Amino acid sequence: MTDLTTLTLAEALDGMEKKQFSSLEITNAFIDAIDKANPHLNAYVVTTPDLARERAKASDVRRAQGKAGALEGAPLGIKDLFCTEGVRTTACSGVLGEFTPTYESTVSGNLFRDGAVMLGKLNMDEFAMGSSNETSHFGPVVSPWRRGNEDTKLTPGGSSGGSASAVSADLCLGATATDTGGSIRQPAAFTGTVGIKPTYGRCSRWGIVAFASSLDQAGPIAKTVEDSAMLLQSMAGHDPKDSTSLTNALPDFRAATKRSIKGMRIGVPEEYRVEGMPPEIEALWQQGIEWVKAAGGTIVPISLKHTKYALPAYYIVAPAEASSNLARYDGMRYGARVAGKDLNSTYENTRASGFGKEVQRRILIGTYVLSAGYYDAYYLRAQKVRQRIAQDFRDAFEKVDAILTPATPSAAFGLGEKSGDPVAMYLNDIFTVTANLAGLPALALPAATDANGLPLGLQVIGKALDEESVFAVSAELERAANFRAKAAKWWL
């Protein structure tokens, strides 16, 4: 019998529909795989095997009764940023202690409504602040990928490092993730998986631990473009509990992956050719351009001239919003309280002991840029630069239907190789952060491997609300790239 864990989501749903195997069988296969791999990869911070088997059995009953949902019986991993009822949720921060929500996030609830089965909670950078999964309170995630025959531990990227590592290593059929500056797309690119951040507002933020509210957006990490479309279909949709949730009707994302791109105009921004970018990434981008042309698309050179200012603007806006959002962690209503001599010192001790180094750094930057006398110089200016960046995209989308770029400026790096230099770490998100600032949908997909055999990704950015074009172009590139590389399961 085939190893059920290596199936795509679409294949697994088809197999269950044809009664080739049950949800309980594939769920058990994943539970076994996690048991073997997790001590090496640290992708899951909580596993819920009993709950998973119980829900898989209930799912098999529903399918037998002809009541199968769109994701009926599919075992998924849930990023620890999503509140899950009765299952510990800490955003991988010490400050939340053993916080166990009494409610379910809208996005995870939508997946369960459609029949999905949860395998556990996935590791991530603390409060989603990081690009290598090294800021997690529970230790870094290790990528299943290795450089050639070396055994150096590589990062799966971040902040959704657990999601990317788990999908790549066949420890779930797909996973939820979130993206504030690239936290879905950069880990997807590093691990040979597909990740899409939809238009801001497509997925409800209700029940997702907040980082930077004007940038945070949920999306899936999956094995294929089609799988990512199916997961997003379930995750997205209007939610009255999030005032920024969009009311627009959801198109059929999966159908969009079958569309031809003939006649589409695809923009290529000159500003994404950055100094120090490896020639392999430049070559991959060129290859992507050729694939678009071969499929009948037209390449249009465009200019997004404020690109280089996107990261500095982000590092004002995101810490400012984070410092405000994270003010709630005072040790009074939930989390781990550390007593002091009075109320203020209890707050200060609780927060100093609960938050990790990078989170403290960002809270201080955010507090500084919002403090009296600096607001106009920093925060207001950053919001204006953000407008410039969004305007660049609006102008470009007068001429093109989608934009093609590399997903990251490098392949995955080793754990510890960049953790000493915050700015070098921040530069990982140089190609992804612009879509967050402008609120646009963007997808990363694997398209080649480098000389060491590590995956490299392309990114497709679309107009607001036009995920369909993003899916169409991405699926075309996926067919052309025919990326088949898999990380060897060295932990077995």
Partner 1 sequence: MSIDEKTVRKVAKLARLALPEDRVKPMADELNGIMAWIEQLNEVDVEGVEPMTSAVEGLSLPMREDVVTAGDDPQKVLKNAPKSEDGFFVVPKVVE
Q: Within positions 45 to 104, which residues make up the interface with partner 1, using CB under 8 A?
A: 97-100, 102-103
Q: Does 137 bind partner 1 (CB under 8 A)?
A: no
Window 173 to 192, contacts with partner 1 (CB under 8 A) = none
**380 secondary structure, DSSP code:** I
Q: Which of residues 227-246 bind partner 1 (CB under 8 A)?
A: 240, 243-244, 246
- 169, 209, 304, 438: residue in contact with partner 1 (rule CB under 8 A): 438
Pick the binder of partner 1 from 74, 76, 117, 313 (CB under 8 A).
Answer: 313
Return the closest-CA partner of residue 145 out of 27, 43, 225: 43
Residue indicated by tokens 């409060």? 127
CB of 355 vs partner 1, minimal distance in Å: 7
Q: How far is CA 407 from CA 23, 49, 279, in A?
A: 34, 34, 14
Directed axis angle between helix 23-41 and helix 9-17, to 10°? Answer: 150
- Dig out the tokens for 456 from the structure: 């490299």
Closer Cβ to partner 1, 41 or 83, answer by number: 83
Examine the residue annotation and report whether 399 is marked as an active-site residue of this protein: no
Q: Helices in 237-278 by DSSP H: which ranges?
A: 253-256
Of 107-115, 140-148, 366-374, 478-486, the window that binds partner 1 (rule: CB under 8 A) is: 366-374
Judged by CB under 8 A, the chain residues 191 through 210 that form the site for partner 1 are 199-201
Q: Is 79 a catalytic residue?
A: yes
Residue 339 binds to partner 1 (criterion: CB under 8 A): yes
Q: For residue 97, report the phi and psi dihedrals to the nearest 5 degrees.
A: 55, -125
**# residues near partner 1 by CB under 8 A:** 72
136, 183, 204, 419: which one is catalytic?
183
How far apart CA 356 and CA 137 sit, in angstroms, is 7
Q: Is 423 in the site for partner 1 (CB under 8 A)?
A: yes
Q: Which stretch binds partner 1 (CB under 8 A): 28-36, 174-182, 262-270, 333-341?
A: 333-341
Strands 217-222 vs 455-462: parallel, antiparallel or unpaired: unpaired
* C-beta separation of 444 from 194 below 8 A: yes
In 3D space, the residue among 162, 207, 141, 178 whose CA is nearest the CA of residue 318 turns out to be 178
Determine the Cα–Cα distance for residues 316 and 30; give it in Å rounded to an integer: 41
Binding pattern for the stretch 211-230 against partner 1, x by CB under 8 A and - elsewhere: ---xx---------------
| Category of 331 on φ-ψ map: left (φ > 0), alpha (ψ -120 to 50) or beta | left
CA pair distance 239, 422, nearest whole angstrom? 36
Query: Applying CB under 8 A, does 364 fall inside the site for partner 1?
Result: yes
Strand partners, 136: none
Which CB, 20 or 100, lies closer to partner 1?
100
In the bound complex, what is the minimum distance in angstroms from residue 345's beta carbon to partner 1? 7
Which member of 61, 283, 294, 332 binds partner 1 (CB under 8 A)?
332
Among positions 248-307, residues that touch partner 1 (CB under 8 A) are 306
Which residues are tagged catalytic? 79, 159, 183
